[in-house]
């Protein structure tokens, strides 16, 4: 099921920004605080993916 959420981009430091992810999504993915995540950015499509980091 495709869900759509509207979120604001917040500046958190000189070089960083934050996007809040809804709690229900975090629970479904079974992620936890301070978990390492991979962020993959596609410059052509101007989109990114976030996934669990695998060693």
- How much is the pLDDT for 8? 95
Model pLDDT for residues 21-49, shown as the tens digit of each residue: 999 999 999 999 999 999 999 999 999 99
Position 47 in a domain: yes
Q: How much is the pTM?
A: 0.72
Position 42 in a domain: yes
Strands (E) located in 1-55: 9-11, 17-19, 37-42, 47-52
Give how many domains the chain has, as a whole number.
Answer: 1
Round to whole Å and give the CA distance between 51 and 16. 19
Position 1 in a domain: no
Domain of 50?
Answer: 22-55
Q: How confident is the model at residue 2 (pLDDT cuts 50, 70, 90)?
A: confident
pLDDT at residue 55 tops 90: no
Position 6 in a domain: no
Round to whole Å and give the CA distance between 21 and 5. 9
Residues 6-33: what's their mean pLDDT? 94
pLDDT at residue 1 tops 90: no
């Amino acid at each position: 099921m495709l869900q759509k959420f509207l979120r604001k981009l917040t500046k958190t430091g000189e070089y960083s920004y934050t996007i809040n992810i809804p709690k229900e999504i975090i629970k479904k993915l079974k992620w936890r605080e301070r978990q390492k995540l991979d962020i993959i950015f596609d410059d052509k499509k101007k989109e990114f993916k976030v996934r669990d980091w695998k060693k």
